[in-house]
Amino acid sequence: MPKVVSNLWFAEQAREAVEFYVSVIPDSRIGRTTILPAETPSGPPGSVELIEFTLCDQAFLAMRAGPLDSFNHSFSVAILLDSQAEIDRIWDAFLANGGTPEACGWLKDRWGLSWQIVPRALSEMVADSDRERAKRVTEVMLGMIKIDLAALEGAFNG
């Protein structure tokens, strides 16, 4: 069976990033680490490190291979959560570790990777067949930095 793995290229500190991610996100773990033994475009033997890890059973590969392209908003990792307590815990952990808050439940971690810390129910609310309810939720969400689940539910329920 094929498997999809998201690859994240870090100029440096890939190990520190992965250790942070798995410490904050439930059901996460670090797998195999490989140091490439050959010369690569990134440098001499031993200069490239590959770290396999999972976040909530989603496979990732972090590669420390020197500078290339910076992370940007065209790729983000969304964490869909069931409670405000979970949203608050993960949001606060990222900010305490050097992250920067952005609009609508987005933040950038200290390595520049974009994350969406959002309630699982949000996608159901904005897709609701009652488009007026969906509009109210969307408008409230657009005014938020960290997501407030009670405020979204209030907008949804009118």
Instruction: Please give the residue that has the higher pLDDT: either 2 or 37.
Output: 37
The predicted-structure confidence for 80-115, as pLDDT tens digits, reads as follows: 999 999 999 999 999 999 999 999 999 999 999 999
Stretch (H or E) spanning 106: strand 106-108
Strand order in the sheet with 106-108: 76-81, 114-119, 106-108, 100-101
Give how far the C-alpha of residue 101 lies from the chain's centroid of Cα atoms, to the nearest Å. Answer: 13
Stretch (H or E) spanning 154: helix 149-157
The predicted-structure confidence for 48-82, as pLDDT tens digits, reads as follows: 999 999 999 899 999 999 999 999 999 999 999 99
Give residue 3's pLDDT band: very low, low, confident or very high (50, 70, 90).
confident
What are the structure tokens assigned to 8, written together? 């994240």
pTM of the prediction?
0.93
Q: Where are the alpha helices (DSSP H) in 97-146?
A: 121-126, 131-142
86 secondary structure, DSSP code? H
